[in-house]
Amino acid sequence: MPTTNPVKKRIYDLKSEYDKLRKGKESLLVLLDEAEIPESVYNSNAIENSTLTLKETEKILLEMEVSRDVSVREVFEAKNLSRVINYIRDKSKEKEIDRETILLLHQMLIGGINDEIAGRFRKPGEYVRVGTHVAPSPEKVESMIGMILDYYANNLEQYFIDKISKFHLDFETVHPFCDGNGRIGRALINYQLLRFGLPVIIIRDKEKAEYYKSFGEYRTSGKIKTIGRVVALALMESLHKRITYLKGEEIVKLADYAKKNVKSVNALLNAARRQSIPAFREKGVWKINSAFKEKNKC
């Protein structure tokens, strides 16, 4: 099922407001992007079962000492993914995703961790499995990635969220690399959003169950509804955050907002998760403009 018209309308209105407010304030948007990197790195690695906490990820990226022994691999995974996220912000302005860009991002991600597999697709004999899904044979990877890229480039009518969602599901189904497929796939979602003039998103570890559910649905029935919802909600949250900052409004914790305005915290949290109010997360904490007035009861 494609993205519904009400969701399209909400995103259109938010994008219009975002475009209007961002003029002359690009430096603020860069600061917001940079401040989000540890959170983005933490969540993407956590989805892949990294043991690092958000605080540990922040310290690693700031070259600070971590209070416990962490593996060298996890340190590299955090730093390398941070480089990838930084790189796509500028690279996405130059061209659409292509084979060379995907391979370069993988080299940046896996380089120094496993140089034998970094920056290349799976070779003959290199098979991978994700849960019960056995990825296509390595001999098919090159042609299948080519077909996915061609379809994406020539798919001019599908709504952008549905288009990006299908690309992600196809990419993860092929699983072209021996390692790093999920992190590269999520980085590519942001590359694609930036190409549409939209801000980056964070697919959070807390949404991991729904995120993984989308792959099973797609492989059994071809549905993109679940991943489309994950991307759409993350995008609305990202837009709400940036619009709030661009307006220069006072930002408070949602719990404090509820207390001050005598509102139900649970009702507000549910509304935030649905993005029916302009709430957003920073370091996992829901926040909102202190002056926000509800049009309808949550």
Which CATH number is 197's domain given? 1.10.3290.10
Pick from 175, 144, 159: nearest CA to 228? 159
Average pLDDT on 103-123 reads 98
Q: What is the pLDDT of residue 2?
A: 83
Over 50: is that where the pLDDT of 298 sits?
Answer: no
User: Pick from 243, 13, 223, 238: which is nearest to 5 by CA?
Assistant: 13
DSSP state for residue 277 in the 8-state scheme: S
> pLDDT (tens digit, 9 = 90+) per residue, 245-276?
999 999 999 999 999 999 999 999 999 999 99
pLDDT digits (tens, 9 = 90+) for 201-242: 999 999 999 999 999 999 999 999 999 999 999 999 999 999
Number of domains in the chain: 2
240 and 254 belong to one structural domain: no
Residues 43 and 115 in one domain: yes
Together in a domain, 175 and 283: no
Q: In which band, very low, low, confident or very high, does the pLDDT at 297 lie, cut at 50, 70 and 90?
A: very low
Question: Cα(61)–Cα(80) distance, rounded to whole angstroms?
Answer: 10
Its sign, for the CA torsion 246, 251, 255, 260, is negative
Q: In this predicted structure, what is the pLDDT of residue 87? A: 96
pLDDT of residue 66: 86
| pTM of this structure | 0.95
**Residues 236 and 269 reside in one and the same domain:** no
Q: What gap in Å lies between CA 15 and CA 9, rounded to an integer?
A: 10
Whether the per-residue pLDDT at 148 is higher than 90: the answer is yes
Neighbour-count burial for 27-40, b at 16+ CB within 10 Å, e otherwise: eebeebbeebbbbb
Q: State CA 171 to chain mean position distance.
A: 15
Average pLDDT, the chain: 95
Mark whether 260 and 244 lie in a shared domain.
Answer: no
Same domain flag for 122 and 268: no
* Domain range for 96: 5-248
